[in-house]
Amino acid sequence: MNIHTKAVHAGDRKRQPGTPIPVTTPIHTAASFFYDSMESIDKVFAQEMPGYAYSRYDNPTNAALEELVSSLESAHGTLATASGMSALQIAITAALIDRRKHVLAANALYGATVKLLQQVFEPFGTTNTFVDICDLDAVAKAIEAEKPGVILMESISNPLLRIGQIDKIAELARAAGACLIVDNTFATPALIRPLELGAHISLSSATKYLSGHGDVIGGLVCCDEEHFEPVRALSRIYGPILGPFECYLTMRGIKTFPLRFERQNRNAIAVAHHLSSHSKVENVYFPGLPSHPDQSTTARLLPPDNFGAMVSFEIAGADKRAVFQFFDKLKMIVPATSLGDVHTMALYPAIASHRDIPPKQRARLGIRDNLVRVSVGIEGIEDILADLDQAL
Ligand SMILES: *Cc1c(COP(=O)(O)O)cnc(C)c1O
């Protein structure tokens, strides 16, 4: 089924005998549920009968969102979590439980993900290796040398928007018995469905494109059959579930997500091309430009003429002060953390997402001090370009 169709139908309108069918799933606030007989409760607790017992385990509003997202991501099952970070924590933990405690991670990852690996997992005995995930030979060598339990990558990396060969890495992971976890926040299931490419777990920050209106913090862990039960079982103990109100908001957001994202993708192409020919701009990083290093992977894995809606660029010769001036001059574009919202947003990686990475390491990763990251919104394109122009 088309993603636009799934977005407005999947998960909703559950039939219950004798009751009217709500057109959208209500917010179920009950913390616990009971049944007409103790026998039924017993069966629900034993997971022999489908049903709800306690909202940390499961809740009808959460279940509706989870069914919707499973449909978008081609997942066996999905867990909605309190944030993208809790999605990462629970996915990595579940995958490592019965595997070697070593994570092979992409060297370009969301800042807090690196902290999670180094400041939380490492002290508990997990070791990490970081690799250029777009260098398939290097990935193969690292798998051979390190025998990782988990391979962790982002489908489109932040902030330089590199695209790794998920399908090939999945083959290597499977041959080595490792679990491939893909953070699909930037690409979204509209562009890439990692599970269809052989990944075991695809997770997202629902805070970003899927909710899309800057009013939810949430995460989604989309699993294949092997990993869904361990993730769900761990969630019952850890309890990092998304509240029913946020589930409702996320589901509401997803209904227009494919529509919004189409326009954001189109606007991003225009922004990238405009900036490429701008005299004040040094380099533009965007998977749709001929200068992008992952052309062939992009052509292979992404639908034609869709490259996501993130554009990064370097302001020619700018130091930190000049970059600050650019941000202070923006009139419409919102200079806030986060991405994927309906409004265009700009972020300065050196002081925000990549602040805690030492300058030398940042430089090695190609993240220069004149780099700006833009999350392109759904506004009229002429207004986005005009604001960028007057601030440059
Ligand atoms: C924002 C983000 C996260 C973390 O998500 P939260 O909802 O803020 O916890 C993880 N990965 C990527 C790629 C992100 O952009």
The predicted pLDDT at position 50 comes to 87
110 lines ligand 1 (CB under 6 A): yes
Query: Of 254, 279, 299, which closes a domain?
Result: 254
Residue 94 and residue 234 in one domain: yes
Residue 212 and residue 343 in one domain: no
Q: How far apart are the first and last CA of the chain?
A: 43
The predicted pLDDT at position 143 comes to 98
In whole angstroms, give the CA distance from residue 184 to residue 220. 10
Q: Quick one: average pLDDT of 130-145?
A: 97
What distance in angstroms lies between residue 217's CA and the mean position of ligand 1's atoms? 9
Say whether pLDDT at 356 is over 90. Answer: no
In whole angstroms, give the CA distance from residue 302 to residue 309. 13
What distance in angstroms lies between residue 110's CA and the mean position of ligand 1's atoms? 7
Residue 221 and residue 285 in one domain: no
What distance in angstroms lies between residue 220's CA and the mean position of ligand 1's atoms? 11
The predicted pLDDT at position 196 comes to 98
Collect all residues with Cβ–Cβ distance below 8 Å to 46 and sequence separation of at least 6: none
35 tagged catalytic: no
Q: Quick one: average pLDDT of 243-247?
A: 98
154 lines ligand 1 (CB under 6 A): yes
198 lines ligand 1 (CB under 6 A): no
Catalytic residue, from 6, 162, 193, 208: name it.
208
Residue 42 and residue 147 in one domain: yes
219 lines ligand 1 (CB under 6 A): yes
The number of the ligand 1 atom at minimal distance from the alpha carbon of 154 is: 13
Burial label for 388, CB within 10 Å (0-12, 13-18, 19+), is: buried
Residue 248 and residue 158 in one domain: yes
85 lines ligand 1 (CB under 6 A): yes
The 8-class DSSP code of residue 243 comes to: P
Domain containing residue 85: CATH number: 3.40.640.10
Collect all residues with Cβ–Cβ distance below 8 Å to 364 and sequence separation of at least 6: none
185 lines ligand 1 (CB under 6 A): yes
205 lines ligand 1 (CB under 6 A): yes
The predicted pLDDT at position 379 comes to 98
Q: Quick one: average pLDDT of 284-303?
A: 95
**pLDDT bracket for residue 363 (50, 70, 90):** confident
pLDDT per residue as tens digits for the range 171-189: 999 999 999 999 999 999 9
The predicted pLDDT at position 45 comes to 84
The predicted pLDDT at position 138 comes to 97
For residue 159, whether the previous peptide bond is cis, meaning omega lies within 30 degrees of 0, is yes
Provide the domain count of the chain: 2
Percent of the chain beyond pLDDT 90? 87
Q: Quick one: average pLDDT of 14-28?
A: 89
Say whether pLDDT at 365 is over 90. Answer: no
Specify the higher pLDDT residue, 47 or 262. Answer: 262
Residue 107 and residue 48 in one domain: yes
Residue 281 and residue 156 in one domain: no
The predicted pLDDT at position 63 comes to 97
128 lines ligand 1 (CB under 6 A): no
Percent of the chain beyond pLDDT 70? 100
The number of the ligand 1 atom at minimal distance from the alpha carbon of 206 is: 7
208 tagged catalytic: yes
Residue 217 and residue 268 in one domain: no
What distance in angstroms lies between residue 390's CA and the mean position of ligand 1's atoms? 30
Q: How do strand 102-106 and strand 219-223 relate by DSSP bridges?
A: unpaired
The predicted pLDDT at position 19 comes to 85
Among candidate residues 388, 365, 391, the one with its CA nearest the CA of residue 110: 365
Neighbours of 99 (CB within 10 A): 15
Query: Of 205, 239, 254, which closes a domain?
Result: 254
**pLDDT bracket for residue 14 (50, 70, 90):** confident
> What does R_g of the chain's alpha carbons equal in angstroms?
21
Q: Which domain holds residue 310?
A: 257-391
With beta carbons less than 8 A apart as the criterion, state whether 314 and 160 touch: no
In whole angstroms, give the CA distance from residue 217 to residue 385. 29
The 8-class DSSP code of residue 315 comes to: E
In whole angstroms, give the CA distance from residue 378 to residue 366. 29
**pLDDT bracket for residue 311 (50, 70, 90):** very high
Q: Which spans in 136-243 are helix H?
A: 136-146, 166-176, 188-191, 225-238
Query: Of 221, 254, 287, which closes a domain?
Result: 254
With beta carbons less than 8 A apart as the criterion, state whether 191 and 308 touch: yes
Say whether pLDDT at 366 is over 90. Answer: no
**pLDDT bracket for residue 353 (50, 70, 90):** confident
Catalytic residue, from 183, 224, 341, 369: name it.
183
183 tagged catalytic: yes
Tokens of residue 353, six digits? 């997402």
pLDDT per residue as tens digits for the range 204-232: 999 999 999 999 999 999 999 999 999 99
Residue 181 and residue 274 in one domain: no
CA separation, residue 344 to residues 188, 211, 214 (Å)? 17, 15, 11
pLDDT per residue as tens digits for the range 65-81: 999 999 999 999 999 99
**pLDDT bracket for residue 254 (50, 70, 90):** very high
Collect all residues with Cβ–Cβ distance below 8 Å to 228 and sequence separation of at least 6: 75, 76, 77, 79
The number of the ligand 1 atom at minimal distance from the alpha carbon of 158 is: 13
52 tagged catalytic: no
The predicted pLDDT at position 364 comes to 83
Say whether pLDDT at 304 is over 90. Answer: yes
**pLDDT bracket for residue 351 (50, 70, 90):** confident
Say whether pLDDT at 132 is over 90. Answer: yes
Say whether pLDDT at 108 is over 90. Answer: no
User: Which protein residue's CA is at the shortest distance from atom 8 of ligand 1?
Assistant: 84
With beta carbons less than 8 A apart as the criterion, state whether 64 and 7 touch: no
